Structures are given as C-alpha cells and as structure tokens.
C-alpha cells in the first residue's frame, strides 16, 4: 500500500491546498487573457471543480457516499471530511474473528453446513476486495487465499484457517502469532482534529497573506496617485505665482486709468442729471404703452390658441374625410380586454419611405389571432403603441360592418407625402376603407396608391380575369368532351379542326397567364363598411 493510500487525509488536504489553487489560477489566467472580467469568477469555479474531483477520489478511497460532497459548502465542513474513517468491505477484523474462534473452538460438534456457509462468505469477501483492489493488493490477496486453502487441506476448519491466514506475513516468513485485539484510545481522534486545525490555520494564513498583499498594492496605488496629484498641484502653484505677478503689474496701470476715468465721470454726472428728467417723463409714457401692449398681446395669445385648436381639428377632419374622430381619449371598443393607447407627444407624421420599413420590422404581425385571447383590437393596440414609441404618430381605427355586431381593429397613419394610410396590423397589408363599400386589403409591396378607386380597379381586373378564366374552362371542358373516346387521323378534316381548336385554347391560356402575372394579390373581403371610428 502506497503512502498516499495509508495517509488519505493528508493526501487529500495537501492536494486541495496546493493543486486546486494552482490549477484554478492557471485556468483563470488563461480565461483572463480573453476577458479580464472572467478572471476572478473563473478562479473560484475552476478551483472548486478541482476540489470536487479530488474529494470524489478521497470519498471513494474511504468507501464513503458521494453525498458527503455537501460538506464542501458547509462552514468548517472540511473538519468533518478530515475526521472520516475508512469503511472497507474486508472480513471481520482479526480480534472479532479471534473472539468468535475462542468462543467456539471447543465445539467439536459444529455442523458441516455452517463451515460451508463460512467458506462461501470468505470467497464472497475475497471477490469484493479483488474488484476494488490495486495490482499490489491483488497479489497479496492471492497469497492469502492460497495459504487459507493449504491450511484447510491440513485439517483446519474454514474459520480457523481464515483466522491463521489473515495475520500471517507471507513475504517475510514471520512466525504465526495470533493478533491481539485492537485497542482504541479515547484520544485517537486527536491527530485528526489536529490535522483539521492545522489545515484551517494554513488556509487562514493564505487568505490573510492574500488580503495583506492586496491591501499593500492598494496603498501603493493610492500613494502613487497622491504623489501625482501633489506634483500637479505644485506645477499649478508655480503658474499661479507668475499670474499673480503679472496681475499686480496690470493693477498699477489700472489705477492710473481709474483716476482719469473719475474725472470723466464727474462731467458725465452733470449730463446725467438733465437726462434723468427726460427719462422720467419717457418712463411714464412707456409704462402706459406697455400696459396697452400687454392687454393686446394677451388677447392675441388667446385668439391664437383658439385658432390653433380650430386648425388642428379642421386638419384632423380633413385628413380623415369627416369620419367619427376621437383625439386623446381611450377607445370604447375592446380587444380580448380593455384597449389602452399610449401616445407620444413628440411623435410626428412620417413619410411613406419612413413608415414602410417600420411596418415590415414591427413584430405585431408575428402574433397569432386567438379567439378571446388576442384579437384584432389587440393587434391594432400593439402596432399603435410601438409606432408612437418609435416617434411615429399613429391612430387606432375601429370599423363596423353591415349586419355584424363585432367590429374590426386596424391602424391609420397620416404620411406627409402620400396622405392618409390604413394598415391591417395582422398581415402588414394596406387596407382600403370607405363607408358603404367593401373592406379590402392589398399587399404592402404591391401597393401603388392608397385611394379607394385603386382598390376598385384591382377588384375589376380580378373580376375580368375570373370571367375570362371561367369562359376558358368551359371551352376546355367542351374540347375534352369532343375528343373523348375518339381517334383522329392525321391529315383529315376532323384532325385539322381539332388541332386548330387546341391551338386556340393554348393561346387563350397564354393570355390568361400573362393577365394573372399582372394582377395584384388581394386579401379576402370582410364585408361592407357601415361606420368608422378613428382614435388619434
């Protein structure tokens, strides 16, 4: 058995004291080169990880459970770990076996079944020790078991042979002697406690040394800073002395200037007396004019405030074509819950080129419409608040349809270059809203105009395409009925008629494909608009 296995406590303590901090320091230094902020936490984490690995090895050698790792995080838990005794799977200690042998050596009538059971137990203990033993320990175990078998062949029972084989030193040939019972002094715990106290003392000394070193470095740094400030202060003092000398020289010349100025002041005071009389009368007149001007300015300011409010309302109505308008109030309509609009007083009307990238990037359309949880009003509320937070003036719009009790929520923006724009927040499409007409949407990228007539033109193009497509499908069905089950011979009149018909259908198909490529994608209509409410 090697020294480290005979002295597991000292082995674990020395490795923990030296290897763990060294490995932790090297790992922390390596990480610190990449990021200095990681150096200190890396030191703690790596050192603790090495401590855990060393303690796992220590507990396995002690045949202790890994649950004892918890002592590493308990205050003074290291003392408990250092006090652990070895728990092994060896057979009963010699003095116990001896006691049992002395107790039963005169019983010549001991049954053979009991000896066989004892022999099986010895073999089971041997296998367990073999599984966990080192190579040197296995050689010793083999010699011991061979000696045990030789003693049983000589006539001894299994227990007697095991007792005699256990204390025998096979390598040196020492004469067999019965082991004496092991005596345990009540002071046997003292060496372990002393080791624990020594370990704590060393750790405290290391911590104190590190703290003193850090404090000394901090004091040195502070001293250097103070010396630097002192040198700077001395330089400033020298400069101040030079400035003071220059100032005293200037003060002498200033005194001379002051004397001549006093003479001029005497003459000026005489002129000032007559000027004061003129000023007094002027002040009286000015006070009367200021009073009149203040009254006029007050009336003008009140009139301007009223005009601004009227202009704002007029502009708002002009922008929204006389639709029902609300400004600075929360909508009565609800989403899945009450709608709360958050306005930004600094928000401004955007250009279309400013608005379009914001709509494409806004996450409102990433949400999923869920009945009773997140509906159209919630989409419109989210887009409105996001736009206002981004400095873009926005409105929430409530649309109600003929024959429907539940309305629909969307948004409106007043662009400075293309006028009022309705936006469907669930799909980032342009909405076309006019009272008494169908509610429609067009893709954001395919939009060329925000006027409702543009939507009507796209709708008419789709209707024309649908009619032509329907006529083409009827012709195809008629052609298929005509040729079904028939054979046409090349060069005959019927063959030429069918080929001409087929060519006509192919030409119609090419025309329809070209028309379809020019059409803009329209959203599904939602109904006829009955009323519109806009909340700015």
Tell me the two tokens of residue 159. Answer: 């227990």
DSSP 8-state class, residue 397:
E
User: Which of residues 82, 104, 136 is at a domain's end?
Assistant: 82
- Let me know whether 343 and 368 are in one domain: yes
Residue range 28-60, pLDDT digits in tens: 566 555 566 666 776 777 777 887 888 888 788
Tell me the two tokens of residue 430. Answer: 């342009």
Are 450 and 504 contacting, i.e. CB atoms less than 8 angstroms apart?
Answer: no
Asked, for residue 190, whether it belongs to a domain, the answer is no
- Let me know whether 336 and 404 are in one domain: yes
User: Which of residues 115, 149, 165 is at a domain's end?
Assistant: 165
Per-residue confidence at 448, pLDDT binned at 50, 70, 90?
confident
Q: How many domains would you assign to the chain?
A: 3
Asked, for residue 209, whether it belongs to a domain, the answer is no
Residue, of 386 and 156, whose pLDDT is higher: 386
C-alpha neighbours within 13 Å on the C-beta side of residue 367: 19
- Let me know whether 377 and 519 are in one domain: yes
- Let me know whether 7 and 145 are in one domain: no
User: Which of residues 56, 82, 108 is at a domain's end?
Assistant: 82
- Let me know whether 148 and 53 are in one domain: no
Instruction: Please report how the helices 158-165 and 112-132 are oriented relative to each other, as an axis angle in degrees rounded to 10.
Output: 40
Per-residue confidence at 120, pLDDT binned at 50, 70, 90?
confident
- Let me know whether 47 and 112 are in one domain: no
Are 91 and 141 contacting, i.e. CB atoms less than 8 angstroms apart?
Answer: no
- Let me know whether 379 and 415 are in one domain: yes
Tell me the two tokens of residue 327. Answer: 């400004």
Rounded-to-integer distance, Cα 186 and Cα 191, Å: 12
Asked, for residue 487, whether it belongs to a domain, the answer is yes
Neighbours of 350 (CB within 10 A): 22
| Domain boundaries, position 74 | 3-82
Asked, for residue 477, whether it belongs to a domain, the answer is yes
Asked, for residue 74, whether it belongs to a domain, the answer is yes
pLDDT of residue 37: 66
Asked, for residue 297, whether it belongs to a domain, the answer is no
- Let me know whether 460 and 488 are in one domain: yes
Q: Is the pLDDT of residue 171 over 50?
A: no
What is the residue-averaged pLDDT of the chain? Answer: 79
Residue range 193-222, pLDDT digits in tens: 445 544 554 565 456 556 656 777 788 888
pLDDT of residue 178: 41
| Whole-number CA gyration radius for the chain | 51
- Let me know whether 529 and 383 are in one domain: yes
Q: Which of 232, 532, 206 is nearest to 397 (CA)?
A: 532
Asked, for residue 61, whether it belongs to a domain, the answer is yes
- Let me know whether 34 and 148 are in one domain: no
Q: pTM of the predicted model, to two decimals?
A: 0.40
- Let me know whether 60 and 104 are in one domain: no
pLDDT of residue 505: 93
Asked, for residue 317, whether it belongs to a domain, the answer is no
Q: Is the pLDDT of residue 397 over 90?
A: yes
- Let me know whether 7 and 156 are in one domain: no
The span from the first CA to the last CA of the chain, in angstroms, equals 88
């Amino acid at each position: 058995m090697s020294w480290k296995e005979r002295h597991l406590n000292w082995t674990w303590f020395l490795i923990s004291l030296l290897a763990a901090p060294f490995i932790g320091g090297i790992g922390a230094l390596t990480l610190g080169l990449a990021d200095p902020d990681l150096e200190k936490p890396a030191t703690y984490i790596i050192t603790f990880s090495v401590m855990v690995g060393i303690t796992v090895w220590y507990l396995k050698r002690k045949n202790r459970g890994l649950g004892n790792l918890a002592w590493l995080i308990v205050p003074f838990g290291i003392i408990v770990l250092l006090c652990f005794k070895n728990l092994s799977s060896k057979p009963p200690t010699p003095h116990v076996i001896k006691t049992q042998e002395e107790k039963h050596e005169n019983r010549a009538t001991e049954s053979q079944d009991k000896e066989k059971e004892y022999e099986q137990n010895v073999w089971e203990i041997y296998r367990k020790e073999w599984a966990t033993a080192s190579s040197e320990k296995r050689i010793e175990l083999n010699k011991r078991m061979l000696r045990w078998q030789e003693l049983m062949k000589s006539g001894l029972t299994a227990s007697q042979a095991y007792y005699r084989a256990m204390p025998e030193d096979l390598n040196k040939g020492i004469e067999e002697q019965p082991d004496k019972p092991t005596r345990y002094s009540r002071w046997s715990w003292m060496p372990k406690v002393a080791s624990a106290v020594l370990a704590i003392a060393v750790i405290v000394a290391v911590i104190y040394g590190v703290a003193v070193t850090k404090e000394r470095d901090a004091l040195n740094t502070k001293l250097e800073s103070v010396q630097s400030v002192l040198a700077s202060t001395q330089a400033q003092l020298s400069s101040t002395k030079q400035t003071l000398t220059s100032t005293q020289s200037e003060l002498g010349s200033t005194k001379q200037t002051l004397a001549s100025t006093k003479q001029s002041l005497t003459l000026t005071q005489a002129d000032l007396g007559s000027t004061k009389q003129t000023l007094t009368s002027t002040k009286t007149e000015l006070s009367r004019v200021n009073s009149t001007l203040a009254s006029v300015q007050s009336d003008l300011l009140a009139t301007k405030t009223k005009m601004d409010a009227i202009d704002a309302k007029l502009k708002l109505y002009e922008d929204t074509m006389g639709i029902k308008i609300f400004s600075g109030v929360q909508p009565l309509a609800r989403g899945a819950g009450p709608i709360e609009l958050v306005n930004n007083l600094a928000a401004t009307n955007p250009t279309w080129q400013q608005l379009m990238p914001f709509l494409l990037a806004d996450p409102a359309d990433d949400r999923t419409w869920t009945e009773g949880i997140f509906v159209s009003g919630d989409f419109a509320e989210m887009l409105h608040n996001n736009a206002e937070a981004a400095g873009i003036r926005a409105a929430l719009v409530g649309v109600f349809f003929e024959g429907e009790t539940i309305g629909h929520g969307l948004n409106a923006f007043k662009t400075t270059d293309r006028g009022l724009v309705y936006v469907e927040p669930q799909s980032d499409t342009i909405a076309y809203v006019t009272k008494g007409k169908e509610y429609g949407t067009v893709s954001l990228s395919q939009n060329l105009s925000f006027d409702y007539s543009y939507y009507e033109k796209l709708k008419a193009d789709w209707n024309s395409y649908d009619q032509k497509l329907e006529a083409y499908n009827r012709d195809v069905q008629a052609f298929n009925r005509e040729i079904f089950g028939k054979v046409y011979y090349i060069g005959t009149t019927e063959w030429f008629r069918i080929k001409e018909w087929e060519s006509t259908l192919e030409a119609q198909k090419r025309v329809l494909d070209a028309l379809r490529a020019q059409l803009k994608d329209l959203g599904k209509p939602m109904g006829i608009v009955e009323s519109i409410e806009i909340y700015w």
